[in-house]
Amino acid sequence: MTACLGPAGSIHQKVTPTDAEVEAYNASVSPEERIVCREEVPVGSFIPRRVCRLQAHMDSTSDEIRTELRRVLQ
Amino acid sequence: MFSGFPAFFVLYLLVQCPLLYAQGSANSTQAFLNAYDQGNIEQLVSQGLLAMEAEDFPEAERIFLEAMQVAKVNYGLSSKEQRIPLRHAIEAQLSQGKFEQAENHLTYFEWLNDEIYTRDFYAYLEGTELLSELLLKASADANNPLGVRYLIAAKNLNWRAVSGIEATLGEDNIQLTPWLYNIVLAHYYQSSLVKNSSVISYVHRSEDDEEINGFTLTMGESLRISYRIGAELLNRIADIYAATEEVPAESLALVQIYQADWEMLFGNETSALELYTDSYNQLLANGFGPEQANRVFARPTVLPATTLATSLEAFADEDQGPVRFHAWTPNYPATHLPSEEVAINSNAGAEFMALVKFTLHPLLPAGLMSNDRIIPLGFNVDDLEVISATPDNDLVRQRALYEVSLLQFRPRIKDGAPVVIEDVRLEYLFPPQYNVLSVSTN
């Protein structure tokens, strides 16, 4: 599912880091640069996909959604 | 003036007094300099350790901090010589429950060790080992509110050591293996924490002490990640041994036992048994006799084993009296004390112990459900019985039964097949800070 066709016609596998690689990376960088990888099921599909995101980006997105939700519910 | 004194005596005093003063002054300067003498560090550390033995922790802390100052004066502000007194000062602070001060000194230790990294890589590794032990010790203290954070910090520190070794000595260097195994163990400790709470939160702290909320994982998700990381690291250890020539012939077969242990700990018993028997067969293929191969499994071992043994010499014979299990901390149930360096300095509860006997089965008893699904039932420990307890009362006996039933054992493989061991004797030492009355058995 994660394979795609490269420009030269070769198949490139989209590889996300393993849990151990993520943990090793996170141990060496500042908290703002840490990444989180997890299985997610995208809307319109039943097939889980491993997605990696920047921790800080996840935090800010969560904050934005929380604020927006609060505004809508008021 | 000076009437009544002979003139020559007055003259003697006038000449001699400044000399005497100068001599006295020189002595006190010498004493002042001696206080910062290099040799004084060892003396102070010895004094401090005596104070620790006498459980005079405030005095011990004072002496160790003084020794640290002496080390700074003699060897420099970022000298590695500070680490031994610093380590003991932190231990003294933890023993007093001074967690905030201990936290500050742990941060200082980390800074100091990072400074050492650029100058002396091996000294950095030694410091990392010390700091990792201190962090584990801090995480084990049941009264420490930051316990989980210290466990994660210890794990991250081991990861940084791994990155350092990879960069300096290469990615397949054999020196990586104990550090990788430490991370595997840290994941086991983490999983035992998770089993006690439904979620685990990772809260990160930035440089300016502003807390950044991390993420929260459910129990299942966290356990799956820990399992995957442990399995991946054990595979890597196996690959490193396979690629290294100067290791004992049996190393690879023995590493496979640890891979099997990991499967066992996470409930994959069938694959664990396959790996155990495969490891036995590999030992035979390496030229060892059945007697030697059987010896690896002869003595019941509580999982996870605290060190990675990759030589047959490390495996003891069967008849050595009862298996001794020294529980580490109530924070990590069913976990053996990894080393004396990480033991909690507390005598609360340490006097509780029990001698038990039981039958050990290689597999959990299984039940067949109506839909043909096989489910594991109970524990692989059977006929559990307390022979004696200290203090001998029903409560301690009940707690001993419960705690021993949580332990997981490496099954015995004899002549290539899993077998039942009857009449296993185990001496269970309750952890310090264990409260017999308040532990829930649900």
Could you read off the pLDDT of B47-96 as tens digits, one per residue? Answer: 999 999 898 999 999 999 999 999 998 898 888 899 999 999 999 999 99
Residue B55 vs residue B442, higher pLDDT? B55
Most confident of B13-27, B191-205, B232-246: B232-246
Shortest distance between the Cα of B242 and any Cα of chain A, in A, equals: 20
Q: Using 50, 70 and 90 to split pLDDT, how confident is the model at B20?
A: very low
Shortest distance between the Cα of A3 and any Cα of chain B, in A, equals: 23
Lowest mean pLDDT among B137-151, B154-168, B228-242: B137-151
Q: What is the per-residue pLDDT for A43?
A: 86
Asked if A18's CB is within 8 angstroms of B232's CB, the reply is yes
Q: What is the per-residue pLDDT for B135?
A: 95
Asked if A55's CB is within 8 angstroms of B215's CB, the reply is yes
Asked if A36's CB is within 8 angstroms of B156's CB, the reply is no
Q: Which residue of A has its CA nearest to B233?
A: A20
Q: Which residue of B has its CA nearest to A28?
A: B160
Residue B51 vs residue B345, higher pLDDT? B51
Residue among B398, B433, B404, B431 nearest B94 (CA): B433
Say which amino acid occupies B309: A
Mean pLDDT across chain B: 83
> What's the rounded Cα separation, in Å, for the pair B306 and B419?
24
pLDDT tens string B178-229: 999 999 999 999 988 876 664 455 554 544 555 544 556 677 788 889 999 9
pLDDT tens string B261-318: 999 999 888 889 899 999 999 999 999 999 889 988 888 899 999 999 888 888 866 6
> What's the rounded Cα separation, in Å, for the pair B211 and A31?
10
Best residue in A23, A54, A65 for a mutation probing chain B (most B CBs within 10 Å): A23
Contact of B300 with B409, CB cutoff 8 Å: yes
Residue B6 vs residue B75, higher pLDDT? B75
What string of DSSP letters covers chain A?
A: --EEE-TTSPEEE--PPPHHHHHHHHHHS-GGG-EEEEEE--TT-SS-EEEEEEHHHHHHHHHHHHHHHHHHH-
Q: What is the per-residue pLDDT for B172?
A: 92
Is A36 part of the contact surface with chain B (CB cutoff 8 Å)? yes
SS3 assignment, position B229: helix
Contact of B403 with B381, CB cutoff 8 Å: no
Q: Which residues of A touch B159 (CB under 8 A)?
A: 23-24, 27-28
> What's the rounded Cα separation, in Å, for the pair A4 and A27?
31
Shortest distance between the Cα of B111 and any Cα of chain A, in A, equals: 14
Q: Which residues of B touch A19 (CB under 8 A)?
A: 225, 228-229, 232
pLDDT tens string B379-436: 578 888 999 998 888 989 999 999 998 898 998 888 888 888 889 999 999 988 777 6
**Residue A2: is its pLDDT beyond 50?**
no
Structure tokens at B84: 């031994």
**Residue B18: is its pLDDT beyond 60?**
no
Q: What is the per-residue pLDDT for B199?
A: 47
Do the strands B332-336 and B323-329 form a parallel or antiparallel pair, or are they unpaired? Answer: antiparallel
Contact of B170 with B374, CB cutoff 8 Å: no
The 10 Å Cβ neighbour count of residue A37 is: 17
Residue B442 vs residue B118, higher pLDDT? B118
Best residue in B151, B166, B190, B202 for a mutation probing chain A (most A CBs within 10 Å): B202
Is A23 part of the contact surface with chain B (CB cutoff 8 Å)? yes
**Residue A3: is its pLDDT beyond 60?**
no
**Partner residues linked to B418 by β-bridges:** B413
Asked if B155's CB is within 8 angstroms of A56's CB, the reply is no
Shortest distance between the Cα of B26 and any Cα of chain A, in A, equals: 52
Q: Identify which of A20, A26, A32 has the shortest CB distance to residue B206.
A: A32
Q: Identify which of B155, B163, B212 has the shortest CB distance to residue A28.
A: B163
Q: What is the per-residue pLDDT for B65?
A: 94
Q: Which residue of A has its CA nearest to B228?
A: A19
Is B187 part of the contact surface with chain A (CB cutoff 8 Å)? no
Q: Which residues of B touch A36 (CB under 8 A)?
A: 215
Q: What is the per-residue pLDDT for B170?
A: 93
Shortest distance between the Cα of B271 and any Cα of chain A, in A, equals: 21
Q: Using 50, 70 and 90 to split pLDDT, how confident is the model at B158?
A: very high
Asked if B204's CB is within 8 angstroms of A20's CB, the reply is no
Most confident of B101-110, B204-213, B291-300, B348-357: B101-110
Say which amino acid occupies B2: F
Q: Using 50, 70 and 90 to split pLDDT, how confident is the model at B2?
A: very low
Say how many CA atoms lie within 13 Å of B352 toward its Cβ. Answer: 21
Q: Which residues of B touch A20 (CB under 8 A)?
A: 228-229, 232-233, 236
Q: What percent of chain B has pLDDT over 90?
A: 47
Do the strands A35-40 and A49-54 form a parallel or antiparallel pair, or are they unpaired? Answer: antiparallel
> What's the rounded Cα separation, in Å, for the pair B59 and B66?
11
Is B232 part of the contact surface with chain A (CB cutoff 8 Å)? yes
How much is the average pLDDT of B332-347? 86
Q: Which residue of B has its CA nearest to A38?
A: B221
Q: Which residues of A touch B215 (CB under 8 A)?
A: 36, 55, 58
Q: Identify which of B163, B207, B236 has the shortest CB distance to residue A30.
A: B207
**Residue B347: is its pLDDT beyond 60?**
no
**Residue B174: is its pLDDT beyond 70?**
yes
Lowest mean pLDDT among B124-128, B145-149, B409-413: B145-149
Q: Using 50, 70 and 90 to split pLDDT, how confident is the model at B114?
A: very high
> What's the rounded Cα separation, in Å, for the pair B120 and A19?
31
Residue B37 vs residue B332, higher pLDDT? B332
Q: Which residue has the tokens 């011990």?
A: B60
| Inter-chain CB pairs, A–B, below 8 Å | 48
ipTM of the predicted assembly exceeds 0.85: no
Asked if A58's CB is within 8 angstroms of B215's CB, the reply is yes
Q: Which residues of A touch B232 (CB under 8 A)?
A: 18-20
Q: Identify which of A20, A31, A36 has the shortest CB distance to residue B205.
A: A31
Shortest distance between the Cα of A18 and any Cα of chain B, in A, equals: 8
Q: What is the per-residue pLDDT for B380?
A: 77
> What's the rounded Cα separation, in Å, for the pair B419 and B360?
9
Is B32 part of the contact surface with chain A (CB cutoff 8 Å)? no
